[in-house]
């Protein structure tokens, strides 16, 4: 049985169908990328897994539990944690309070102090800024808080929605290195990205989404070598 299994789901935004009969799976310890252009349904897929949206058909299961109808807070308790697109920090709270709130769920709340130390080791920058309002940070620092907040929840599966969005190239490289580090420490990662080259090169496998369907899937290496991906996503 797969760690995370998405089976034949249809998802609607109001009356508009965004995801069509989509299936995918993630195994424990893997790093899996989901790539695709704007409007391909990547963010909708993550929102569905984390319970902000519910599929009208199909199943989502995590460690054998059916979660397609569960509420977001319940899904966090199961161990799936999403770092949302555009960071969505609590802008008028301090960096430290953002991190503390990240560790709100019952699996994490006993370990808040220890996890904060871990986040500060990963992002030393944040310990210097811990009493600053999140609003006052630069884009790169905000992304660090967003990822740190995700780690605080002690995820079994960490889902990152476009962590590179709006960042300078050097910072993007940093963020991806950190994601690799998190994965190496044993967290399963599901990564949604438009930066195909970077995300596939740190992943084990990937899925290509087009118009709400899986257009292609395979190991990261085969996808990187694929002629369609080269022309459509890498511009080669």
Binding site for another protein (CB under 8 A): 14, 50-52, 71-73, 76-77, 81-82, 84, 88-93, 97, 100-102, 104-106, 108-109, 135, 149, 153
Which is closer to another protein, CB of 115 or CB of 229? 115
To another protein, the closest distance from the beta carbon of 7 in angstroms equals 23
Which is closer to another protein, CB of 103 or CB of 206? 103
To another protein, the closest distance from the beta carbon of 211 in angstroms equals 23
Which is closer to another protein, CB of 105 or CB of 199? 105
Which is closer to another protein, CB of 24 or CB of 83? 83
To another protein, the closest distance from the beta carbon of 103 in angstroms equals 8
To another protein, the closest distance from the beta carbon of 200 in angstroms equals 25
Q: Are 85 and 141 in contact (CB under 8 A)?
A: no
Which is closer to another protein, CB of 89 or CB of 182? 89
**How would you write the chain as a 3-class SS string?**
CCCEEEEEEEEEECCEEEEEEEEEEECCCCEEEEECCCCCCHHHHHHHHCCCCCCCEEEEEECCEECCCCCHHHHHHHCEEEECCCCCCCCCCEHHHHHHHHCCCCCCHHHHHHHHHHHHHHCHHHHHCCCCEHHHCCHHHHHHHHHHHHHHCCCCEEEEECCCCCCCHHHHHHHHHHHHHHHHCCCEEEEEECCHHHHHHCCCEEEEEECCEEEEEEEHHHHHHCHHHHHHCCCC
To another protein, the closest distance from the beta carbon of 63 in angstroms equals 17
To another protein, the closest distance from the beta carbon of 175 in angstroms equals 19
Q: How many CB atoms lie within 10 A of CB 130?
A: 16
Greatest Cα pair distance in the chain: 49
Which is closer to another protein, CB of 96 or CB of 205? 96
């Amino acid at each position: 049985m797969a760690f995370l299994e998405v089976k034949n789901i249809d998802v609607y935004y109001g009356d508009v169908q965004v995801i069509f009969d989509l299936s995918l799976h993630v195994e424990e310890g893997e790093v899996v990328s989901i790539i695709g252009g704007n409007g391909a349904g990547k963010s909708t897929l993550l929102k569905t897994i984390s319970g902000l949206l519910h599929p009208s058909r199909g199943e989502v299961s995590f460690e054998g539990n059916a979660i397609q109808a569960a509420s977001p807070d319940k899904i966090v308790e199961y161990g799936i944690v999403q770092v949302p697109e555009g960071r969505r920090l609590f802008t008028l709270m301090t960096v430290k309070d953002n991190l503390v709130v990240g560790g709100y769920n019952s699996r994490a709340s006993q370990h808040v102090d220890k996890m904060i130390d871990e986040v500060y080791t990963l992002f030393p920058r944040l310990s210097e800024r811990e009493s600053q309002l999140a609003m006052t940070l630069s884009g790169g620092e905000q992304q660090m808080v967003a990822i740190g907040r995700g780690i605080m929840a002690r995820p079994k599966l960490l889902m990152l929605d476009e962590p590179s969005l709006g960042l300078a190239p050097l910072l993007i490289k940093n963020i991806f290195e950190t994601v690799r580090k998190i994965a190496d420490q044993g967290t399963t990662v599901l990564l949604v990205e438009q930066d195909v080259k970077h995300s596939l090169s740190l992943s084990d496998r990937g899925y290509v989404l087009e118009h709400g369907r899986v257009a292609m899937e395979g190991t990261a290496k085969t996808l990187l070598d694929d002629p369609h991906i080269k022309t459509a996503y890498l511009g080669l």
